[in-house]
Amino acid sequence: TEHQHARYNPLRDDWVLVSAHRVKRPWQGQLEKPPPEDVPRWDPNNPLCPGATRANGEVNPQYEGTFVFPNDFPALQPDAPEPGNSDHPLFQAAAARGVCKVMCFHPWSDLTLPLMSLSEIRAVIDTWAELAAELGASYPWVQIFENKGAMMGCSNPHPHCQVWASSFLPNEARLEDRTQRQHLSQHRVPMLLEYAEQEAERKERLVVENADWLVVVPYWATWPYQTLLLPRRHVCRLQDLREGERDSLASIMQRLLTKYDNLFEVSFPYSMGWHGAPTGPYLDEDCGHWQLHAHYYPPLLRSATVRKFMVGYEMLAQAQRDLTPEQAAERLRSLPEVHYKQRDK
């Protein structure tokens, strides 16, 4: 808690520098504007709202639950041409095809996941699982991710996420596939299953837990209040979750995200995403080295207006953090589980 040291991240096979003493330094850097709190529940000019017209001229249905549609500006398309042969090993290109979808969580723009009911969050989880199975029938990787807040580049406050299915394994997927495969080969147990058992016993980095899930600030966390959501049972893919596990997932997500919002009493920005075993052609292979998990990467450091920047040493050498994972976990753990917007109700 007082002296710098490096911690190993076995999932990414890299290191993070922990400089706990630096958290005491005064801040004179950039201050962010808090996000607006007056988001209208429905706006005819918001392309994610029910009944609104999107950029391509299509009109959204009057949906009442989740709503999925093709991204109007996709990063991946299914019919992209081959890039052609390379004339030198230093100038390689490869085919990249896929589909991109947008998924709205709820018809109201002024809600976020922690303010939704458990049944509404469960509907989100079910839709995630359906998309993972549907797209995973043919694509090797299905990336479900949510960018929440303008600080994370989200241009629309409506509660939503994106789902990108690709014809290739992205960098993070290939890296986690390799490290988890190596761990199972060497230790005869899936890495993140063993890690979850260890964290459940140690408890010093535990944030919330229930019978099926636990959330920790990982030992190797890079972002100040980064968390890792893990099942207690060995589960390879989101679509493999049992009914009870989906209910308890809705509960633990609500509890975690409520704590996030309560930390600085602001709609907490983050990027999150699910990682599970590859799909498509990998469905016929043994992927027992994989363990389903979700990463949460929030940028806020000291307050609703002071964020962590990954620059300088982080970009040119290796990741570095000022707050120890144990300190971050203790602070999150101690926060109330009633949302600050609902305390007076």
Q: Is the dihedral of CA 45, 266, 225, 192 positive or negative?
A: negative
33 is known to lie in a ligand binding site: no
Q: Which of 3, 5, 21, 160 is an active site residue?
A: 160
Record the tokens describing residue 246, joined without a space: 């989906």
- What secondary structure letter does DSSP report for 342? G
Which phi and psi angles does 321 have, rounded to 5°? Answer: -135, 155
309 is known to lie in a ligand binding site: yes
Q: Is the dihedral of CA 281, 283, 288, 290 positive or negative?
A: positive
**Is-catalytic flag, 5?**
no
Record the tokens describing residue 290, joined without a space: 């994989």
313 is known to lie in a ligand binding site: yes
155 is known to lie in a ligand binding site: yes
72 is known to lie in a ligand binding site: yes
344 CB neighbour count, 10 Å cutoff: 5
85 is known to lie in a ligand binding site: no
Q: Is the dihedral of CA 129, 98, 172, 138 positive or negative?
A: positive
314 is known to lie in a ligand binding site: yes
Q: Is the dihedral of CA 224, 229, 234, 237 positive or negative?
A: negative
24 is known to lie in a ligand binding site: yes
209 is known to lie in a ligand binding site: no
Please enumerate, by residue number, every residue annotated as part of a binding site for Fe cation: 176, 275, 293, 295
Please enumerate, by residue number, every residue annotated as part of a binding site for UDP-alpha-D-glucose: 22-25, 55, 71-72, 147, 153-155, 162, 308-309, 313-314, 320
Catalytic machinery residues: 160
Please enumerate, by residue number, every residue annotated as part of a binding site: 22-25, 55, 71-72, 147, 153-155, 162, 176, 275, 293, 295, 308-309, 313-314, 320
